[in-house]
Amino acid sequence: MSPRIRTLTLVPLLCLPLVSSCIVAAAAGAGYLVSREVLPNDVYSAQVRVDVDDTWEATRETLGYMVDPGNEVTTTSSPRVAKAKVDGADVTVTVEAYDLDRTTITVAAERPLRHDGATANEVLNAVLDHLD
């Protein structure tokens, strides 16, 4: 490989970490989302800079829109847990106060004999979109 081609190939690869870190920093600084992770058993979790009561209201409203026809959302206020059937999966959303104006949302979805990470991720994304 000629030195010129090698240089043309390496320059974009060396710049990639700089560009991707800038994108992540811009996204993290711009919004309400503090962190997001996937826990064991395909449980999706996010921490947001939103009051727990506002997050709880958004969660209940979102599940109300997503619940399968003929089913309803069941909730408990302490602890804040909402359950519904979404796309045929049993979904459980837990909303917990982490700190002042900081809340953790955890979503688990299960189908017979398996965890359903895709549905859990879909529900979490819908709740986060509702908060935005």
Q: What is the DSSP letter of 67?
A: S
List the one residue out of 80, 24, 76, 30 whose CA is nearest residue 52.
Answer: 80
pLDDT in tens, 35-58: 999 999 999 999 999 999 999 999
CATH code that applies to domain 32-131: 3.30.310
For residue 99, what are the contacts with CB-CB under 8 A and spacing of at least 6?
A: none
pTM, full prediction = 0.74
Alpha helices, DSSP H only, in the chain? 3-30, 52-66, 117-131
Which tokens sit at 94? 């837990």
The pair phi, psi for residue 88, each rounded to 5°, is 85, 0
Which tokens sit at 71? 């089913």
Question: Domain segments of the chain: what residues?
Answer: 1-30, 32-131
Q: Could you tell me the CA-to-CA distances from 14 to 2, 10, 18, 98 in Å, in that order? A: 18, 6, 8, 38
pLDDT in tens, 68-85: 999 999 999 889 999 999
pLDDT in tens, 85-98: 999 999 999 999 99
